[in-house]
Amino acid sequence: MALRYQQIEFIFDYIKPQSVVEIGTWNGDRAISMARRALLHQKKFRYYGFDLFEDATSETDHEELNVKQHYSLSEVTNKLQQFQNDHIGFSYELVRGNTRQTLKNVDISFTKCDLAFIDGGHSIETIENDFQAVKNCPTILFDDYYRADNKGRCPDLENFGCNRLVEPMSPWVLPVGDPVVGGGLVHMAVTGALAKEFINSMIN
């Protein structure tokens, strides 16, 4: 697991979510790690996961700056089902397809989710689309907040990453980042109630 994702445990310990929507489920391992953490604080935890799964192609990889391996919906379902069999408080729903369409067509009340984690496509257009669907969640965690590395290298912020979207929201950028293939660093950023609480605590 990339080092920056370990910071999710701190966030879960603080807000103790009962339900989370993750855009960018990938192989399902992060869903399970989030569920394990949530179930330390809650008897029940509901997970909603969105991903292209086997609909991903080399073309979408290029458009969304993706370098990860693809996993099928059935592979991830089997993994989460096994976890559910062993943890009766866990439930889940997975949705396959492009979130520019699927987020508009599902019968899920995102306002009732305690946290949204946006880590799907990396293009600005896709990140903004995903944010618009979940923007009423009380806490939103973004991956793909880019910064320059010690050689001054950084991904193309005009076309990729959440920087342009979140910076007007005064986000809390989590301190631990990971190297980006091709140069730069990738961090996570938090907006919403949690970010405001943290920033106010630092000021006061």
3-203: CATH topology = Rossmann fold (3.40.50)
pLDDT of residue 128: 98
pLDDT of residue 176: 96
Stretches in the chain below the pLDDT threshold 70: 199, 201-204
pLDDT of residue 204: 57
Predicted TM-score of the model (pTM): 0.94
**Taking the domains of the chain in order of start, what are their residue ranges?**
3-203
The structure tokens listed for 60 are 């979408």
Q: What is the DSSP track for 30-92?
A: HHHHHHHHHTTT-S-EEEEEEE-GGG--HHHHHHTT--SPP--HHHHHHHHHHHHHH-TTEEE
Residue with tokens 């903004």: 128
pLDDT in tens, 118-169: 999 999 999 999 999 999 999 999 999 999 999 999 999 999 999 999 999 9
pLDDT of residue 202: 57
pLDDT of residue 60: 94
